[in-house]
Amino acid sequence: MKFIDEATIQVRAGDGGDGCVSFRREKFIPRGGPDGGDGGRGGSVYLEATEGLNTLADFRHTRRFVAAAGEAGKGRQMSGRGGADLMVRVPVGTLVTAEETGECLGDLIRAEQRLLVARGGRGGLGNCHFKRATNRAPRRATAGTPGEHLALRLELKVLADVGLLGMPNAGKSTLLRAISAARPRVADYPFTTLYPNLGVVRVEPTRSFVVADIPGLIRGAAQGAGLGTRFLKHLARTRLLLHVVDMARIRQDVDSAEDVRVLEQELDRFSGELARRERWLVLNKLDQIPAAEHQSLQQRMLQRLGWDRPVFGISAKTGEGCEFLCRRIMAFLQTRSADSAAEEVPR
């Protein structure tokens, strides 16, 4: 299924039921008082984050969601039945924004998390509420209030611990296939990945992390060039970025250091916070280079960059270096989780 990461929908809560005007009429009770019941409340609309959904494609065809209205009140002080709430299922990681105002209404980042987006109308009051000493037969009841309605923009940002970024054909999809059970499309031409792919990397039976393969980026991505900002945003939730570089291009005298700098600039233009995220360099396609040249090419690359962060040499095709890389990632993520937990402990 094609990855759909944005959608606009209309939601409308149910109207409240009207109050009832009624009078008690029973044999041998000539002056029965008012007994009109209240109207039922209208149903509300909720969004619920659901595991197993990874796309907003369902909203391409169904864009309007309406909750049930409340029933009108009845005689004998019987209230009308309330309208059923409407639960709209969305993928985990969905950001909800009001289309008209741009206000962020919520971010659904946990399974079964619910967000009230449109509140149902209140039921009207029956005439039994308006009985007074000076008005013992009120013929007044109030109408139910309308339910809220608004347009919502849904935006899906994938939830992953690690994000793969790099120029087209750097080998990101091949790396994802090598370290997880995911099977993204792999081919020898640019932009074979047209939407994010997720894979779970299981280092040990009880230790794993999620990797997102982001479509290849090019110069001007932050302004929308290529696949642009549509997918840069999916890196926002990651804790670690792996910058995958094609080592074979270095051997062909292509300035891969410039490729790295270009993507650094695009990250900074898109989000300064994202540019400061922990980022490691992964030199891929070692299988295409004689072993004797590995060290010299790597040193040439790092000197041009002035790189002082972790560097890993791998071959995603043969699996060389992939296990070591995954274990280092797992150790990093566990350290970060422990640090975050320590920061949350009240002092």
Using the 8-state DSSP alphabet, how is residue 345 labeled?
A: S
End-to-end Cα, the chain, rounded Å: 48
Q: Which residues are annotated as a binding site for GTP?
A: 166-173, 191-195, 213-216, 284-287, 315-317
Q: What is the pTM of this model?
A: 0.65
- Per the prediction, the chain carries an average pLDDT of 82
At residue 253 the predicted structure's pLDDT band, cuts being 50, 70 and 90, is low
How many helices (H) and strands (E) the chain has is answered by: 7, 14
Q: Which residues are annotated as a binding site?
A: 166-173, 191-195, 213-216, 284-287, 315-317
Q: How far apart are CA 285 and CA 290, in angstroms?
A: 11
Section 173-177 average pLDDT: 89
How far from 270 is each of 3, 33, 144, CA to CA, in Å? 22, 69, 47
3-state secondary structure of 196: coil
Helix, strand and coil in the chain, % to nearest 5: 25, 25, 50
Rounded (10°) CA dihedral 257, 263, 264, 269: 150
Task: Say if strands 6-12 and 64-66 run parallel, antiparallel, or are unpaired.
Answer: parallel
Matching residue, tokens 């009429």 = 25
Structure tokens that stand for 110 in this block: 């946990």
Q: Which residues pair with 298 in a beta bridge?
A: none
Query: Comparing 93-97, 171-175, 229-233, which segment has the lowest mean pLDDT?
Result: 229-233
3-state secondary structure of 87: strand
Could you tell me which residues come within 8 angstroms of residue 112 by beta carbon, excluding any fewer than 6 positions away?
Answer: 48, 49, 50
At residue 199 the predicted structure's pLDDT band, cuts being 50, 70 and 90, is confident
Q: How far apart are CA 340 and CA 345, in angstroms?
A: 9
Q: Give the chain's domains with CATH numbers.
A: 6-156 (2.70.210.12), 162-344 (3.40.50.300)
Using the 8-state DSSP alphabet, how is residue 69 labeled?
A: P
- pLDDT (0 to 100) of residue 272: 77
3-state secondary structure of 246: strand
Among 23-27, 105-109, 150-154, 308-312, name the most confident range. 150-154
Q: How far apart are CA 142 and CA 144, in angstroms?
A: 7
Asked whether the beta carbons of 263 and 246 are under 8 A apart, the reply is no
Asked whether the beta carbons of 127 and 36 are under 8 A apart, the reply is yes
Q: Which residues are annotated as a binding site for Mg(2+)?
A: 173, 193
At residue 252 the predicted structure's pLDDT band, cuts being 50, 70 and 90, is low
Structure tokens that stand for 316 in this block: 């995603």
How far from 166 is each of 190, 216, 316, 342, CA to CA, in Å? 12, 6, 14, 33
Q: What is the pLDDT of residues 3-24, one digit of tens each?
A: 457 889 999 999 999 999 998 8
Higher pLDDT, 236 or 314: 314
Q: What is the pLDDT of residues 201-242, one digit of tens each?
A: 888 877 888 888 876 554 443 444 444 445 566 677 788 999
How far from 113 is each of 91, 97, 151, 274, CA to CA, in Å? 11, 16, 21, 26
